[in-house]
């Protein structure tokens, strides 16, 4: 019985890193969120997104963050703009800050940004600050916009088009009124 207690009492091992770029290879899923809506991307596009994220983080510096968020602030923030989410299969840590999901805003002019940390779907607490070291997010922003455009055009092409009625209600009423006027003129 003591033997089982020993194994049950061992705390969960958390992989800890100093630089955020070092945790990127452990991400298992990446998503794009636009104005609060997740954009579905193919497996191939997801692989391309991972490569683009890795390129964005290349030569970046992980720095102490002054940014703090609450779940309510985070949900409100997601409602407008473009974000990228990276999910992990287990708990990781960067500079003592645990997470199993990281989300950041995509903005072409950003030279630095906050990674908002999520644990079990709840986002809040101190953020992880990423300094892009003399580059901006413009190339990454262009890539994400291309993916979003491809997906939204594919989605609109795959959905059946609704047949438009021949005429709307106003034009039917106007047509009836003109017929009535012609009949009165003929009388």
Give the pLDDT score at 54.
96
The CATH number linked to 76 is 3.30.1490
Residue 1 lies in a domain: no
How many structural domains is the chain composed of?
A: 1
Report the distance separating Cα 52 and Cα 65, nearest Å: 23
Residue 40 lies in a domain: yes
- Domain contains 162: no
Residue 62 covered by a domain: yes
pLDDT tens, N- to C-terminus, the chain (187 residues): 334 444 444 444 566 678 899 999 999 999 999 999 999 899 999 999 999 999 999 999 998 788 899 999 999 999 999 999 999 999 999 988 999 999 999 999 999 999 999 999 999 999 999 999 999 999 999 999 999 998 877 656 655 544 444 444 444 445 555 555 555 555 4
Please check whether residue 24 lies inside any domain of the structure: yes
49 falls within a domain: yes
Spatial CB neighbours of 94, under 8 Å, sequence gap ≥ 6: 16, 17, 18, 19, 20, 23, 62, 128
pLDDT at residue number 1: 33
pLDDT value at position 8? 45
- Domain of residue 68 covers 13-154
pLDDT on residue 156: 60
> What was the pLDDT predicted at 18?
80
Distance CA 183, CA 151 (A): 54
pLDDT of residue 158: 57
Predicted pLDDT at 168: 46
> 27-34 and 37-39 as β-strands: parallel, antiparallel, unpaired?
antiparallel
CA dist., res. 46 & res. 41, Å (int): 6
Classify residue 149: in a domain, yes or no. yes
Q: Is 91 inside a domain boundary? A: yes
């Amino acid at each position: 019985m003591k033997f089982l207690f020993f194994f049950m009492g061992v705390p969960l091992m958390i992989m800890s890193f100093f630089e955020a770029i070092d945790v990127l290879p452990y991400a298992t899923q990446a998503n794009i969120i636009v104005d609060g809506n997740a954009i579905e991307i193919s497996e191939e596009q997801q692989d391309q997104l991972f490569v683009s994220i890795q390129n964005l983080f290349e030569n970046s510096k992980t720095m102490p963050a002054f940014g703090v968020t609450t779940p309510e602030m985070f949900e409100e923030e997601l409602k407008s703009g473009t974000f990228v989410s990276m999910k992990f299969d287990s708990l990781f840590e960067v500079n003592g800050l645990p997470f199993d999901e990281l989300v950041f805003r995509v903005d072409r002019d950003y030279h630095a940004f906050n990674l908002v940390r999520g644990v079990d779907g709840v986002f809040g607490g101190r953020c992880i600050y990423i300094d892009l070291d003399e580059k901006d997010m413009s190339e990454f922003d262009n890539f994400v916009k291309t993916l979003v455009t491809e997906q939204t055009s594919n989605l609109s092409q795959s959905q059946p088009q609704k047949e438009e009625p021949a005429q709307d209600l106003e034009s039917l009423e106007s047509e009836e009124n003109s017929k009535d006027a012609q009949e009165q003129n003929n009388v």
